[in-house]
Chains A and B, each alone.
Chain A
Amino acid sequence: MKVTSSTTTSKQRLTTSAMIASIAAEGQPTRAAPFGHALIELARRRPEVVGMTADLGKYTDLHVFAKEFPDRYYQMGMAEQLLFGGASGLAAEGFMPFVTTYAVFASRRAYDFIHQTIAEEDRNVKIACALPGLTSGYGPSHQAAEDLALFRAMPNMTVIDPCDALEIEQAVPAMAAHPGPVYMRLLRGQVPLVLDEYGYKFELGRAKHLRTGDDVLIISSGLLTMRALEAAKKLEADRVGASVLHVPTIKPLDVETIVAACRKPGRVVVVAENHTIIGGLGEAVAAVLMRERVHPAFHMIGLPDEFLAAGALPTLHDRYGISTDAIVSSVKSWL
């Protein structure tokens, strides 16, 4: 294929800009570092809470906690195996480590350490990982397209994929209230605020209906719930009624709510996730529906089973079908 020189291209090309470009759209309401601030609130009430990271405090919003509680903060250097083994040890001594890194490093570099020292030993460690799914344009080194599949498969592990700043704020105390290991996908920096207008309240293990419509049911988690809500508004303008069922807890799955929603006749079911189509929410929902003998028209929106490209996030979200416009057009094609 001939590559056209950028100087001769009429259409302006976007750039990757940064490893951790914000996922907030221009003009969208946001809150800064919701995880870090929620953790400070929690730590004021729970003296056993400590923070740990592997050279990514600034990039996982743990730096605000570190500033507030410098003596409860452990910088473990760029050593993820040590990070999670150390967290296991601190938990064994009665502390509750909140551990941050990027999702790629937790799920890939340190998987055995989380599996053996945290999940198998059932240690009370809370893992919060930035750059989940496709939220970096940096390339596969920083794109955790398969983190949900990996952590879903791990016994003892609870898995959360929050949608926005509000949900992260609510998830942090819920993680602490849950005994045992938890993996949370973290949105960091200026994080969009979306769910406040839906009167939303996070409950661990519960899926929540955010809006109703009669033509399509979109089951989604994380960033893709934000996109699903935007898509639903656009579909509504085109007289397509879209329900959105938000499933922030990937494991354990709220089977009852999901099955009940899918039993409602006449709706196409679409599962949308910021994750490879292998082993994430889509396949989890599909398996549940098969077991429960519920067979709606069923489609999945997710990342393809390939190494994703480097580039600007809007470009990549369009290319891989997880932008709002791409979701709208996919849903329309399935009606």
Chain B
Amino acid sequence: MTVQGHNVSLHERARRIRCHALRMGEVQGQGYIAQALDIADVLAVAYFHAMRYRPEDPEWEGRDRFLLSNGHYAIALYAALIEAGIVPEAELETYGFDDSRLPMSGMASYTPGMEMSGGSLGLGLTIAVGRCLGLKRKGSDRFVYTLFSDGELDEGSKWEAMMSAAHYKLDNLIAVVDVNNQQADGPSGQMMGFEPLVDKVRSFGWFVQRVDGNDLNAVVTAFDAAKTHEGAVPRMIIADTVMGKGVPFLEARERNHFMRVDANEWKLALAALQDGSQP
């Protein structure tokens, strides 16, 4: 059962998000598990510290928007939506099956709380720019969060959107980049060099922070600073993360972009999360 109380620690939220993701992974025997584990801390802070939303009304006008650009991280976002009470935990068993509301790649029309259809990488930040312009037109003070990963920086549309966000002074935009240095064909920096990322994005006119994305305190501080930063500029949090974070034997695995996990290993992975639940 999802924990509904307000006193649940972010550590526990992050641990439970990881557990939900692992259980979905077990349903299929494989998946983008390493990414889900690496981004769980960021999602815990987004959904249980930073964002405003109503679990019973996912389209509440007063919500902060969360746009998952890297649709293959859906397994991670579903885990967060389950933990947030937006998606019932029982649906976890349907992940990836025919007629499920939880398809492998995140799509807006399938899942409550899924604001966009990802999958084709490079879309999210352009949509986020339009969302921010729309919220400003409406006089709303809500934020648009969008998550994408380092490999997606190869797409030119990301840089079109970065230019425009600064041009339109979108101080209601908070982009989170998951730097796990892993994309389909190999380490992101070797596929296409993207560093020095902070300097690049800063030169585009953004307020940029770079943090250890698996350090909850650092992530909380970064989200708080992104929300409260004075200055009519868009905000970016670059989160350096570790693929498979929280499950040591998965962290150590090299071929981890689309991970196969043996049947007996899911229990071991869940057990590792139980053991390591308290820092």
Interface residues of A (CB under 8 A from B): 50, 74, 76-77, 79, 81-82, 84-95, 97, 112-113, 116-117, 120-122
Contacts and interface: CB of A to CB of B under 8 A. Distances in A.
A128 to B, nearest CB: 17
Given A76-B164, A86-B164, A121-B109, A92 B157 contact: no
Interface of B: 107-109, 115-117, 119-120, 122-123, 125-135, 137-138, 156-157, 160-161, 163-164, 167
B123 A117 contact: yes
Interface SS of B by simple majority: helix
Contacts of A81: 122, 126, 156-157, 160
A93 B134 contact: yes
Contacts of B109: 120-122
A86 B162 CA distance: 12
Nearest to A125: B130
B130 A94 contact: no
A53 to B, nearest CB: 13
Given A77-B163, A79-B160, A117-B116, A85 B135 contact: no
A76 B127 CA distance: 13
Nearest to B128: A89
B115 A93 contact: no
A95 B116 CA distance: 16
A92 B126 contact: no
Given A77-B164, A82-B157, A89 B138 contact: no
Contacts of A97: 130
Contacts of B133: 74, 86, 89-90
B127 A85 contact: yes
B117 A87 contact: no
Nearest to A52: B130
B130 A86 contact: yes
Contact of B135 (A84, A93, A120): A93
Contacts of B161: 82, 85-86
Nearest to A112: B120
Contact of B117 (A79, A82, A89, A121): A121
A82 B130 CA distance: 9
Given A85-B126, A90-B131, 4 more contacts: A81-B156, A87-B130, A117-B123, A117-B126
A74 to B, nearest CB: 7
A89 B129 contact: yes
Given A112-B120, A116-B120, A117-B117, A89 B132 contact: yes
B131 A93 contact: yes
A86 to B, nearest CB: 4
A89 B157 contact: no
Residue among B115, B134, B135 facing the most chain A CB atoms (10 A cut-off): B134
Contacts of B107: 120
Contacts of A88: 116, 126-127, 130
Contacts of A93: 130-131, 134-135, 137-138
Contacts of B132: 89
B255 to A, nearest CB: 28
B122 A92 contact: no
Contacts of B127: 85-86, 88-89, 92, 117
B119 A82 contact: no
Nearest to A91: B130
Contacts of B122: 81
A89 B109 CA distance: 15
Contact of B126 (A82, A91, A121): A82
Nearest to A93: B134
Contacts of A74: 133
A112 B126 CA distance: 13
A316 B130 CA distance: 40
